[in-house]
Amino acid sequence: MKMRKSKLGRGVAVVGAGMSRFGSFPDKTSRDLFVEAFSEAVGSVERGMEARDIQAIYVGNYSSDLLEGQGHLAPIMADWVGLAPKPATRVECACASGAVALRQAILAIASGLYDIVLAGGVEKMTNLPTEKVTDVLATASDTLYEGTAGITFPGVFAITASAYFARFGATQEHLMKVAIKNHNNGALNPKAQFGSIAEIMKRRLERAKQKGEPLPAWRDEMDFLRDPRANPVVAWPLRLFDCSPISDGAACLVLVAEDLAKNLSDSPVYVIGTGQGSAGALHTRQELYVSPAARAAAKEAYEMAGVKPEDIHLAEVHDCFTIAEITATEDLGFFEVGKGAKAAEEGVTALKGTRPINTSGGLKSKGHPVGATGIAQVMEIWHQLRGEAGQRQVPRKDLRLGLTHNLGGTGGTCVVHIFERR
């Protein structure tokens, strides 16, 4: 049977966006963080709206059960932001939980069921020590095939990087260029967990001087990243600064039916494409550096939007590890397979490059509270397309199309969304 191309039943727009700062906040709960993001999102709607006008809420959250000992999170969040008894649904798809929650909110409006919906995401991860958080995250892998082999996520992406290096001749220095770029972008983002690597290097030099220790002979960020004492190996060939941090944070979006958008916002950003794909464990892939889920999601989103990869002006992609940004740009069709590393090295993906990637700082610098990540990515695109990104604004007058790519688990889930400024 011939299937028709996917399309939305009616248009959907983003009219408000907000997020907490990402980082480590021992004095806050996920509820506190979600309230911060919610309040900013509702307050960002230029023409004003009442929170009570929101008809439903979808909350992306990976594992509040294991990280905080709190399940059944969505109704709690609805209550804390004053939306109860409106319907509230928690969505879990590992690190893609936020993007899947957003997709469900989009489909709820496109179906005609609701006119105004909140899509949010939250994770409180720093309550537990690093080794415990690593164990929790590992439950998003295939525990039968990957978990029993002792593979946690640094190991998964180390395997990806090793295969990519062997096939295309890329090196650790290509990954270092990605880390430096994203930290430079994060330094321009007031909500980001970390600033530039140059700032981190400077602080370490000052600390060594205060303690009377020998000063490292770092000439620049590359020297710093090459130093195994400053940037130790986590899972070869990945080092510490190839890995996104453990983070707390929340983000929210206000979505409305397209015909209501101009009533609420002077500059709505429209959803023109959404795609979702799935895949099995890492060993099922023909090529370890190719994500079938990402390719399927991108294909659906591009077809729905009626655009091609070369039409996209900027993107936020899932750089949980530096190698993941490189392979994502290839899965999305921005570069040929094997050419993403060279593009990063040449500055193509930099803020002022021809294909800016992760202007927010990405997961690498902005932080990665996993349930919130897919929503926070959209907030960056929303600000960029509206010309509100401040010092990290992409300097392009015709900026019109943005894309987000959110990966879950070892690539088991991927969601791609495409947005347009009109």
* Residues marked as catalytic: 95, 368
Q: 122: helix, coil or strand?
A: strand
Which contiguous run of DSSP H or E holds residue 137? helix 130-138
Distance between CA atoms of 200 and 196, rounded to whole angstroms?
7
Q: 53: helix, coil or strand?
A: helix
- How many residues would you count in the chain? 422
Cis peptide upstream of residue 85 (ω within 30 degrees of 0): yes
Q: 344: helix, coil or strand?
A: helix
What are the residues facing 56 on neighbouring strands? 117
Closest listed residue to residue 326, CA positions, set 338, 308, 315: 338
CA distances from 275 to 6, 72, 255, 258, 411 (A): 9, 27, 17, 19, 15
Residue 89, token pair as written in the block = 């649904």
What are the residues facing 357 on neighbouring strands? 315
CA distances from 274 to 6, 12, 97 (A): 9, 11, 15
Burial class of 11 by CB neighbour count within 10 A (0 to 12, 13 to 18, 19+): middle
Closest listed residue to residue 398, CA positions, set 387, 412, 389: 387
Specify the pairing of strand 269-278 against strand 233-235: unpaired
Distance between CA atoms of 30 and 344, rounded to whole angstroms?
35
Cis peptide upstream of residue 356 (ω within 30 degrees of 0): no
